Structure 1
Amino acid sequence: MTSFQHMNVAQLHERLNEESLVIVDIRDPNTFAQGRVTKSQHLTNDNLADFLREADLDAPTVVVCYHGNSSQQAADFLASQDFTEVYSLDGGFTQWQLVYPEHVEK
């Protein structure tokens, strides 16, 4: 059974202004610096422990990668750490950038 859910870019766009929404981007630092979904924070192996310690486990959390593949493993991992509402962004940042270029932070 999968412990995370899928979210498409339109669903994320609808929920972008939710105060409690957490967006984590697991792409490499250079790519993250060049552009990311508005409000997203960079999640790396280096800051994972801090993130887990400080995170609100009940906040809806969306994992973003390049194309929506590796985010599934990361979302599954977060769900295994007792996060209650975890999503993998289908299509990843690549899809987001195509559909919502106005919501790309640099």
Structure 2
Amino acid sequence: MSGFTQISAEDAKTMIANNDVQIADIRDAMSYEVGHMTAAQRVDNQNLNEFITATSKQKPLIVCCYHGNSSQGVAQFFSEQGYEAVYSLKGGYEMWKIACPELCQRS
């Protein structure tokens, strides 16, 4: 049984506008610096424990990768860590930057 839900860019945009949402970007540092979802935090093996400690398990968590594939496994992992509402962004950042360019930023 999956502990996460796949979410479209449009639905994620609505969720972000209406809720206090956390966003974990699991892409490499260079890709993140070139562009990422506004308010996204880059998460990798080096800061994973810190991210889990610092973020709320009750707030929705959207996981973003390149194309929406890797984020599914990571979303399942976060669900197993006790996050109550976890979402994997369909199409990843590549879809997000097309669908929601106004909600992208550079580091």
TM-score (norm 2): 0.95
Query: Match of 1:74, as an amino acid?
Result: V
Quote the offset at 1:54 in angstroms. 1.6
Q: Which moved more, 1:28-37 or 1:8-17?
A: 8-17
**Off by >6 Å, runs of 4+ in structure 1:** none
For 2:18 and 2:46, how far apart are their aligned partners in 1?
A: 27
Mark the runs of 5 or more structure 1 residues left unpaired by the alignment: none
> Would you say 1:38 and 2:38 are equivalent positions?
yes
**Equivalent position of 2:50 in the other structure:** 50
Mark the runs of 5 or more structure 2 residues left unpaired by the alignment: none
For 2:93 and 2:24, how far apart are their aligned partners in 1?
A: 11
Quote the offset at 1:99 in angstroms. 1.3
Secondary structure in 1 aligned to 2:95?
Answer: helix
TM-score (norm 1): 0.96
Query: Match of 2:40, as an amino acid?
Result: S
For 1:42 and 1:28, how far apart are their aligned partners in 2?
A: 8
For 2:20 and 2:101, how far apart are their aligned partners in 1?
A: 23
Query: Match of 2:11, as an amino acid?
Result: Q
**Equivalent position of 1:73 in the other structure:** 73
Quote the offset at 1:3 in angstroms. 0.7
Secondary structure in 1 aligned to 2:17?
Answer: coil
* Counterparts in 2 of 1:35 and 1:11: CA distance versus 1, 3 Å: same
